[in-house]
Structure 1
Amino acid sequence: MSARPRGRSLLRRALALAAISAGLAGVQLGTAGAAHAGQVGVTVSISGRGALAVSDGSPEDGADGYCRNKDAQKLGDVITCDRFRDSEVFEAWVWLRPYPGDPGKPGDWTVYGWGGCDEMRTKNGVVECGVHSSSFGTVEKTPKVFFRDSVAPATPSLKVTTDARAERSVEWDIRSGDDGRNVCRIDEQPPFDCGSFGTREVEEGKHTFTAWRVDSSSNYSPPATSTFWTVDTTVTSGPKALDTSATATFGLSSGAAEGFACSLDGAAFTTCAGGRVATATLAGLAEGPHTVRFRADRDGWRDPIPATWSWTVDTVAPVSSVERYTQTGRRIVVTAGTDDAASSLECRLTGPSRDGAWASCAPGSVVFDDLADGTYVAETRATDEAGNVGPVARVSVDVDTTAPTAAITSAQTDGTAARFAFSAPDATAYSCRVTTLGVVGEWKVCTSPFSLAGLTPGAHRFEVVARDARGNVQAVPTVHEWRVASPTQVPDGVQSGPVADTVAPETALTSGPAEGALVTSTSATLVAAASEVGTYACTLDGAALPCADGRLSLTGLGAGRHEVRIAAVDAAGNRDASPVVRSWRVPMGVAAMKAAKGFKRLADATSWAGTSAVATRRGATLTASVTGATQLSLVATPGKPAKVKGGVKAKQGKVAVYAGTKRIGVVSLTRGSGATTVLTLKPLAAAYTGPVRIVSLTAQPVRIDGLGWS
């Protein structure tokens, strides 16, 4: 291309000659004139590594017109060079020549382009930039040259893995020794800046990941590619939360898997099914809670977050019981129970006026009313939350509303003493009353024979009623009346006086703990009555205690069996040779038990002993030692939420009770009245002495108040 238009060159030469002539004339005339008529100021910018030099023009003021950007690493690294100027007589021109890279070593750098030029020309194969002033004018020019790196970066190192923190997500790791940035693309989606590391969610299936390294000059490296799979797992079916089977079958599905691996209760994963839709079966499952994880696999690619299924295998049926019963009139009351407080209980009564249909009932006293006389069978059965139905427990009961009638078989009324013998078929107890001289006495428990002494002269009346074991009481007393004659003159030498009392009184217990009961209290009060007015003698576990008025109040009772004996003593000093005997049991409080592996003892005003033990993790253990136990009982509050960390209340779980290494039973504390309850387990096969363990079976909290045994 031409450096300047030809017309301008001719005009410029003519003007130059005119200027020279004028200058000479000025010298001759001694007058100063303008030396230059056109001037251009040049401030050059360089982007990228390289230099500029003036190839045509005359920089003034000592400038050489050379500038170099030596430290640039990329196209965008820019420097601005020092300004220089060029003046000419008519029009000033400056031509700039580019030199890419370092002097004599252009390397990978080339001229990318120019900016701010008035004209361009090619000289010796190099494009130069020209700037100029106007005719007889002064201008400022800011040309700019762009150098760029023309060599693309090397192919980066690409590693693609499954993102272990998210479903259906890919994670990449891109490494490169070249400066620049990374651009990525997944399948045919638009490219995106992806950095060295990152993750992105994708659909389930097969994908191609492509990565490029792009330098500052927008040079793209050859692509790095990787093919990967994303797979997800869905459990479509499985056992219910509480299941009675030791075998579990699961339905599995995945949009891209070729098979599934399983892990039961934290064990290593093993292949358990093939295909995208499959069925997996686990057999021989142990009793208790289980968690299985399912992971879809495809060509070595795995679901990073396996699907889980948790449930509890419960194959142990609950054991129900129907124990003590009472019959009052036409009512029967039986005591029903189960070793699993969370199970549902059913009861039925079969007999003359009942059809024997099963009906829901609650543990404790079960009442059957309006019964005809005859023999009945009361039955119970329990069904736990898993659906296990336990064996039927039964007891035979008789309804008998006919009261016995006492017959006085002997009446000895000699002088001031009297003695009566009486009996009645089926009678288990008698009450007697004496009326003297019209004063009616109180009914008192009595036995045959019944003796009186020190009677005053006059009319007397003896009454007796019989009671049978079912509570039927004789309605009309059996009566014997007689008179005591007035004393006559006693002959000389003969002493007179009352007949000596040698008959001991009879003793009965009117209030106290039930015989053989497990009483959740360290205190007890027993009240006795006697056939004659007098005092009483008492013992507790063989040790004598004062109880002159027949009332014995006990405190501070320890765990285990206790026995009280009370004998009445009359005014003559006769002592009942067959005292009344009452025994009961007090459970061991948790304060005396060893808490380990997760149980924590807490002061608890609602607990019968003032302390309860609470656990919030599976495997927590309470231990106690027993001697000669034939049956164990757990003291707890089923149905009452237990306090856990932070004061939060949570639903209770299950515990197992072991005698040594043998599990005696499983007790659920989930449902109940929330009151202190004695949960009696099935009888032991033989008397047991040794450690008893109470073990939490779940992570739900459990609260234990004590352990009893008989």
Structure 2
Amino acid sequence: MTPTRRAAALAVSALAAVLLPVGLATPSYAAPGCLSEPPTGLLQAPCDDEVPPETTLTGVSTVPTAAGWVATSTMTFTFSGAHTDADADAIGLECRLTGPARAHDWTTCTSPRTYSGLVDSGQPYSFAVRAVDPADQRYTYNDLATLPGDDEPGEDLDASPAGLSWGQDTAAPVAFVTPDAYDAQSPQRPVVPSRRLPIRLNSNERDARFECLLDGRTTSCTPGPWVLTGVASGDHTFTARAVDRAGTPSAWSEPFGFSVPADPRRRAGWKKQKASAAFDGSVLVSRTQGARLVLKTRKVGELRLYAPTAPSYGTVRIRVGSTGWQTVDLGRARSDRREIVVIDQFSGTRRGTVVIEVLSRGRTVKVDAVLARTNVRRGD
């Protein structure tokens, strides 16, 4: 305190001592319990309003995701302040922003408050707003009671500001979708002799999740090595996209087309036999000449037979509709994948039912699965 202010304080204190009634000591602090602090007179004890106003954040332009992220560089906040008692003083508001850009300490503000041009960063943003009683905040009291000083700092503003914290990520992720399916006959549209297709899903953004479609319908999937299971027989298309923590999706991946063979229905002269390495865990077995299997189709541009081979096995013949028979000797055919291409994908279209008939007599024939699909399109 300067010598001038100290002299003034002593003079006022001395005057108060003379004028105040005997036995009434000068109060050291303002008395609590009032609604407004300005003193009403020089000889009256100051009054201290101890109830601060409260703050409410009423709206935000973009609500963060459950993980606390937004995909925008502009945020607008609406807010208000109010007294919780009968105080009629006007409400003031102060805002603060912390984060990587445009950060500032407490400053007077009004609702709505917009921040634009914010930047993506690993550091989160945090907005806070607090209500203030400006009329009361001007008055503080020291132990001389009637002079400006420092009584209870901060009690004229909300000690628990309203606010919101968030992370910002405005860049779209990139999805990497890698199916584990190789087919030398048709690399662009492979045949998968299984109801399981391993697929690796990765993104350039950490913590991205994936959305996947099988034949245009949503199917659950997870990032990293993942297996599409329970795939039905027939032709399929798979695609996926990454969605980052702010909810921004990547572009859909290039559709991946593939086909799954079918098990022929058992008929007279055939019996089912378990086989762990088989397509559906079993094969159809026959030693009866003329015994047939039938696979109903409309158009066939490619036909593959999946069957185990061994020198002791017999022969079958296959045709589509009314076309000529083609013979397959399961005792002579050799294939590590037990896959025999009966009609390749460039041999034209045939119409009708696929018929497999046992040609040999008294020799074992085993059939695992059959693929019958339309021709590959040019450019596939």
TM-score by length of 1: 0.28
Task: Flag the structure with larger Rg.
Answer: 1
- Using CA pairs under 8 Å that are at least 6 residues apart, name the structure with larger relative contact order, 1 or 2: 2
TM-score by length of 2: 0.49
* Larger strand proportion of the pair: 1
